[in-house]
Amino acid sequence: MNLERYFDYNATTPVDHRVMQDMEGWFCREFANPSAFYGAAVAARSAVEEARSRVAALIGARPDEIIFTMGGTESDNLAIAGSIKTPDSAASPHVITSAVEHPAVLNACRALENRGVRLTVLPVDAEGRVDPDDLRKAISPATVLVSIMYANNEIGTIQPIRELAAVAREAGVLFHTDAIQTTGRIPLDVKELGVDLLSLSAHKMYGPKGIGALYRRKGLRLTPLVWGGGHESGLRSGTENVPGIVGLGRAAQIARQEMDELAARITPIRDRLHRGLFERIPELLLNGSLTHGLYNTLNVSVRHIEGEAILAFLDGEGFALASGSACSSKSLEPSPVLTAIGRSHADAHGSLRFSLGRHSSEAGVDALLDALPPVVARLRSMSPFGKSGGPGNKQ
């Protein structure tokens, strides 16, 4: 794959070669179970705990507040389901989330709703942000958890997490944030944010797939989802994935050292892409916000044509990016995130997500800007709506 033509870093990132170097030895040479007591096992345990400290340092936590999981989805599920006591007939617990959450959060909340938990899904504004006043009004005496993501994976919108967490804290309600798209990309400190639970994943920050972590504020009790030998403070039983944990730790260390430099380099590349798209392609809609969004993410709707059709043509020229329609279910339904911010089904189906990362370049953007307008023009010429009038670009 030509990484200069890779525009899907919000889906996954290539593993950093330094991360791979640290991981390799733990697969074959130093393969001991870290729960054993001989020397090789003690070395494995030491590697796990060093990684735990590195992850904690990245987010301003204590090492004993980090629970390793198999990835971001499990971290979200453990935070949500682990916070909820089994409802009884007298009073069902109440959970609050937002309309733009990742399926790992929304589907976990829906599953609890099917078991008797009361669920409130908050709306968002046209940029995809939750209003703290809406959260304040939604909290009731039965509310036990609020789960609102830090930054959206599709449109990049960053939520006002400090304000939202403060509202929950004032009411004595636990606050969880899915920070999978922000951890390692922007500086964050769990204590400054005021969150009780935070999910992160290695493969979004140049680490391996299949490993993640949950920050759990010290003193907070959760119910495990996986039962067994009591690993990870009793919250995630099972022999530890030592190579993956080491990889996550190294990725966290590198991200902490290099994230500011990366942001400074990628932001103007994102802006170059934004300008070029809106200068060269008529009838585009910006989804999300440049002001309140991740520096690496740009989402637009190309009116009157399907995003998947554009992707198919671009794939033939070596470009990799995502569309907002049929995002995770492979269904014909448009992205719930885009409909939540007010996009019509047609415009949601015409969305494209560009997400940038370490290997992105001006040359890659310029190549995309040369390839995309002819594709759009060709597809619109075949569409019954391609020559219709309509509003101009909305930035």
Just list the catalytic residues: 327
What is 24-37 written as a DSSP string? HHHHHTS---TTS-
Q: Which residues contact 154 (CB under 8 A, 6 or more apart)?
A: 10, 100, 287, 299, 324, 327, 335, 337, 338, 351, 353
Please name every residue paired with 143 in a beta bridge, in sequence order, or none if there are none.
Answer: 94
For residues 201 and 69, the answer to whether their CB atoms sit within 8 Å is no
The Cβ-side half-sphere exposure at 182, using a 13 Å CA radius, reads 25
DSSP 86: P
Q: Indicate the SS3 state at residue 316.
A: helix
CB atoms within 10 A of CB 385: 11
Q: How many CA atoms lie within 13 A of 38 on its CB side?
A: 5
State CA 19 to chain mean position distance. Answer: 21
